[in-house]
Amino acid sequence: MPIAGGTDIMVRITGEIGEPPERMLDLAGLDDLRGFALDGRAILIGALTTYTEIRRSAMCREHLPALVEAAATIGAAQIQNRGTIGGNLANASAAGDTLPVLLATDAEILLGSARGERRVPVAEFFTGYRTTALAPDELILRIRVPLSAGREVRFRKVGTRRAQAISKVVLSLAWREHGRTAGWSDVRVALGSVAATPIRAMATEAALEGRHPIPEAADLAAETLAAEIEPIDDVRSTADYRRTVAARVLHRLIREAGGW
């Protein structure tokens, strides 16, 4: 099993929560998989890039501030210094905090093996509860986030406290603006901790498409989202709380975008 920062794997090493890995292969020496690059229409983020590196990256702060915000909410300093964005994807927890941002921005994952390389849209990467499209012989190499003119992206995490809290609800909202008269386009509403995998709320996206961020649109979107998601009760929260809070978070983000 590949090990990057080890912040997910090491929790399993005692064997108390399932079989620990028999052997591990440290990826730390693969410097090619670290850091950021711009390829004109997209930002490329190496799989071994840590949350601290994301927080400090001028490129990421300029082009993808919502990912910087998400990185800042993960664990605390120790976890941010070691935990990687590739590990967050491969671990495929529904509560992974970067994952809604990657879904909302239509990111693609570049996978590689001795057989070659391929691209998988993040929306197709999570195949079920903690399962992914990653084959056993593949590594996540980098994440490609397209940069779309006029796109705005927002992020909000709700947890028990500001650090070391796994999300009760995590949400990312993205849209494109086309001046004052036209409504929003390419709306994305992505959530974590409300289903078995990170999800996009497509009915809610459709309700916001072509709309301006006015109170009626926010009310309709919140109502649609509450009806669309099917969260569960677990140790961290209840289904009712998650549904209500997800709807209110979305409402608030639309209100902030509308300036009312």
Ligand X SMILES: Cc1cc2nc3c(=O)[nH]c(=O)nc-3n(C[C@H](O)[C@H](O)[C@H](O)COP(=O)(O)OP(=O)(O)OC[C@H]3O[C@@H](n4cnc5c(N)ncnc54)[C@H](O)[C@@H]3O)c2cc1C
- Can you give the binding site for ligand X, defined by CB under 6 A? 1-9, 11, 27, 47, 74-75, 79, 82-84, 86-88, 90-91, 96-97, 134, 139-140, 164, 166
Q: How far is CA 179 from the centre of its chain?
A: 28
In the complex, least distance from residue 96 CB atom to ligand X, rounded to whole angstroms? 4
Rounded to 5°, the CA angle 205-232-165 comes to: 85
Rounded to 5°, the CA angle 205-173-57 comes to: 150
Name 95's Cβ contacts closer than 8 Å, sequence gap at least 6: 166, 167, 170, 192, 193
Closest CB to ligand X among residues 90, 169: 90
In the complex, least distance from residue 97 CB atom to ligand X, rounded to whole angstroms? 4
In the complex, least distance from residue 186 CB atom to ligand X, rounded to whole angstroms? 25
Of 63, 73, 68, 75, the closest CA to residue 5 belongs to 75
Closest CB to ligand X among residues 83, 213: 83
In the complex, least distance from residue 131 CB atom to ligand X, rounded to whole angstroms? 12
Closest CB to ligand X among residues 84, 237: 84
Closest CB to ligand X among residues 95, 174: 95
Closest CB to ligand X among residues 88, 204: 88
Closest CB to ligand X among residues 41, 130: 130
The closest residue (CB) to ligand X is 87
Q: How far is CA 250 from the centre of its chain?
A: 16
In the complex, least distance from residue 260 CB atom to ligand X, rounded to whole angstroms? 31
In the complex, least distance from residue 82 CB atom to ligand X, rounded to whole angstroms? 6
Long-range contacts of 30-33 (CB under 8 A, 24+ apart): 33/86, 33/139, 33/141, 33/142
